Amino acid sequence: MKCKLNKKSLYDCDKCIYFIRKKCRGPIIKGFATRDDTKKFLYNGKVHKSNIRELCDFFVSSIGFGSNKPTYPRFKEEYKIPFKESLRAFIENKGNIIDVALDSIYMGGWSEYILGDVLREMILEGKAKREQIAVISKSPSLYENFDFCIQNSLDNLNLETIDIYLVHDHEVLFTKFDSQKAKTITRNIISSLENNISKNKIRYYGISIGDHHLVSKNSLYPNLEEIYSIAEDIGGKKNGFKVIEIPLNPTRPEAIFNRDQVVKGKILNIIEAAKEFKLDVIITESLSRGSPLGNYDDVPGNNIFQRQLVLLKSLNDIKTILFGSINPDHVKNNMEILKIPNLDQKIAEKTFYKMSESIKNEWWIHKVNG
């Protein structure tokens, strides 16, 4: 997409400041992910039925696209075009859930903006419909003015409605403030999220946990039950709290190994606790930040990346797992696993435990044992 004023790519136009870029993008993209359109999008492709998952009230692919790239230099121009091409490759290969953020570590703050451009272009080309794609965005929990954050995300994405909006790194609140203050901020954020649902700016919301270690070791962090009760108190039985996002891979197994949740007197891990409240679970860091470890010979796939993705998507009660890349060929390669059926859940769980135990290293031991 080119700037109408300077005839350059919007990503190369240093004179095209934010309010001018916004004018260059055309009308706002209306609509949101719907049950019928997401289902048709996935079933019309070569996607094995075990890789089509119901999340909230629509259907998503078992692997999603994530855009958290903290190891990449921020604001590097050369990453923007490959990122855009990778997003296109993801959708063209039947992926339909994409995770971006207002946060600057998500492609230097460009992830929302570039996704908005990709959606608009693919809609105009007839290669996608807004109703087929589930869009997730988020703001850091320390940004207390979520009304402002959501409107900024909508402007960046050029969308009328965001499907899911997350409170990013929610656990950080409880390291920066005392418990009462952190809970008050949480209540205010949830109130804002519910208000934005009523305005059709978002449809659902949830929390994103970046470091599960902080949840387990921080005695001030509330149980999921307590967070859900805040949402229920504000939004009632039909509140919009529907999703949690957590890291999980064989080097970061805390979401399964750590039984740090108490729900109705039962001691559970966070995935089990989420099920108690009918919260859908999305997994981040599925490829161990690009460095998967271990021997996956018993897991189908053409390489270690595919095999780790196959293992994780086969675990019980997980809706979708996110991976990120700015290499379109890598994206296409990873999308091949949508043709691969899930492993038997018991085999997947046994393999995950085996892999986690076999690849413990000093970093992992430090994270778990503090």
Look up the CATH number of the domain holding residue 216: 3.20.20.100
Does the pLDDT value for residue 11 go beyond 60?
Answer: no
Asked if the structure places residue 198 within a domain, the reply is: yes
Q: The domain containing residue 192 runs over which residues? A: 30-369
Asked if the structure places residue 23 within a domain, the reply is: no
Domain count of the fold of the chain: 1
Q: What percent of the chain has pLDDT over 70?
A: 82
Q: Give SS3 for 82.
A: helix
Q: What pLDDT score does 18 carry? A: 44
CA triple 204-210-213, angle to 5 deg? 130
- Residue 94, φ and ψ in degrees, nearest 5: 75, 30
Does the pLDDT value for residue 271 go beyond 90?
Answer: yes
Asked if the structure places residue 4 within a domain, the reply is: no
CA nearest to 206, candidates 197, 215, 219: 197
Asked if the structure places residue 24 within a domain, the reply is: no
Confidence of residue 87 (pLDDT cuts 50, 70, 90): very high
- DSSP-derived letter for residue 49 is G
Residue bearing the bigger pLDDT, 204 or 80: 204
Asked if the structure places residue 250 within a domain, the reply is: yes
- Residue 263, φ and ψ in degrees, nearest 5: -130, 115
Helix ranges, the chain (H): 18-24, 35-43, 80-92, 111-124, 146-157, 173-176, 179-198, 212-217, 224-235, 254-257, 270-276, 304-313, 328-335, 345-358, 362-369
Confidence of residue 217 (pLDDT cuts 50, 70, 90): low
Asked if the structure places residue 5 within a domain, the reply is: no
Half-sphere exposure (CA, 13 Å, Cβ side) for 17?
1
Q: What pLDDT score does 213 carry? A: 61
Asked if the structure places residue 78 within a domain, the reply is: yes
Does the pLDDT value for residue 98 go beyond 50?
Answer: yes
Residue bearing the bigger pLDDT, 81 or 199: 199
Q: Give SS3 for 233.
A: helix
Q: What percent of the chain has pLDDT over 90?
A: 63
Confidence of residue 294 (pLDDT cuts 50, 70, 90): low
Q: Quick check: 292 and 249 in contact, CB under 8 A?
A: yes
Q: What pLDDT score does 367 carry? A: 47
Cβ neighbour number for residue 172 with a 10 Å cutoff:
18
- pLDDT tens-digit profile of 126-158? 999 999 999 999 998 888 799 999 999 999 999
Asked if the structure places residue 22 within a domain, the reply is: no
